[in-house]
């Protein structure tokens, strides 16, 4: 039945379009029915469909399919959605504000971890707060990023807090200078977000692939790797 569904879902897309991303698109569309009409995530299905159909995206999907990282095409789709929506929440802070925010997160994570450690609540919180991805009610980029194969298996909530505390200084470094203003803020953010994705999943910025995805997402005819380099050095 799953194979039949996949074949049916693939009927309107090119043969080179990844089947798992097509499935992700249809699941996303179904789950968006309960979202507020003004929810920006409603724009994501059209974006994913565009990236699956655009002829210049063939090289992008083929490169992702050859990646040794698990679920690279699927996580790319989620990353593209995140980038397309533009800076959100703390990403809109100034560099100084973001640095202060992450330092506060680190401090509070350490404090709560130390408070919980050694208590029964430390273990029981896991069963209440960590759920398999299949049981979640929303299908956002955060959902896909949240559970990657090989991620640590946490048995106590304090272990999660320790990981948060360890990651905060790193996030402060990589976020420096990323705030974008002006008419093309969303495009610049999209470029920088995908450049970061390709650095992790393909080992280098892959500016030609970022350019192809950006041209498809924003309906551009003359976007090239040189412009990507300017936005994401």
Residue 151 has a pLDDT of: 45
pLDDT band at residue 137 using 50, 70 and 90 as cut-offs:
very low
- Is-above-0.75 flag for pTM? no
pLDDT band at residue 179 using 50, 70 and 90 as cut-offs:
low
Q: For 16-55, write each residue's pLDDT tens digit.
A: 999 999 998 988 888 877 777 777 778 889 999 999 999 9
85-89: long-range contacts at Cβ-Cβ below 8 A with a sequence spacing of 24 or more?
Answer: 85/40, 85/41, 85/43, 85/44, 85/186, 86/185, 86/186, 86/189, 86/190, 87/179, 87/180, 87/185, 87/189
Is the C-alpha dihedral spanning 29, 147, 101, 182 positive or negative? negative
Domain assignments of the chain as residue spans, ordered by start: 2-87+180-231, 93-132+150-175
What average pLDDT does this structure show over 157-179?
Answer: 72
CA distance linking residue 53 with residue 233, whole number of Å: 29
Q: Could you tell me which residue, 136 or 178, shows the higher pLDDT?
A: 178
Residue given tokens 């995530």 in the structure block? 41
CA distance linking residue 215 with residue 80, whole number of Å: 12
pLDDT band at residue 10 using 50, 70 and 90 as cut-offs:
very low
pLDDT band at residue 153 using 50, 70 and 90 as cut-offs:
low
């Amino acid at each position: 039945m799953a194979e039949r569904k996949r074949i049916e879902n693939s009927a309107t897309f090119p043969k080179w379009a990844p089947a798992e991303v097509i499935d992700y698109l249809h699941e996303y569309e179904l789950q968006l029915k309960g979202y507020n009409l003004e929810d920006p995530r409603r724009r994501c299905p059209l974006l994913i469909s565009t990236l699956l159909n655009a002829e210049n995206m063939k090289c992008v999907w083929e490169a992702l399919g050859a990646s040794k990282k698990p679920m690279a095409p699927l996580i790319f789709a989620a990353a593209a959605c995140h980038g397309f929506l533009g800076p959100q929440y703390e990403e809109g802070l100034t560099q100084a504000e973001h640095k202060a925010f992450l330092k506060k997160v680190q401090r509070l994570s350490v404090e709560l971890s130390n408070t919980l450690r050694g208590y029964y609540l430390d273990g029981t919180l896991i069963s209440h707060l960590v759920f398999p991805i299949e049981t979640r009610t929303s299908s956002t980029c955060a959902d896909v990023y949240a559970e990657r194969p090989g991620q640590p298996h946490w048995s106590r909530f304090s272990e999660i807090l320790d990981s948060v505390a360890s990651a905060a200084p790193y996030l402060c470094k990589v976020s420096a200078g990323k705030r974008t203003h002006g008419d093309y803020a969303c495009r610049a953010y999209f470029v920088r977000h995908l450049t970061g994705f390709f650095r992790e999943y393909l080992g280098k910025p892959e500016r030609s692939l970022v350019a192809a995805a950006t041209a498809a997402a924003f309906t551009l005819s003359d976007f090239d790797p040189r412009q990507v380099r300017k936005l994401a050095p």
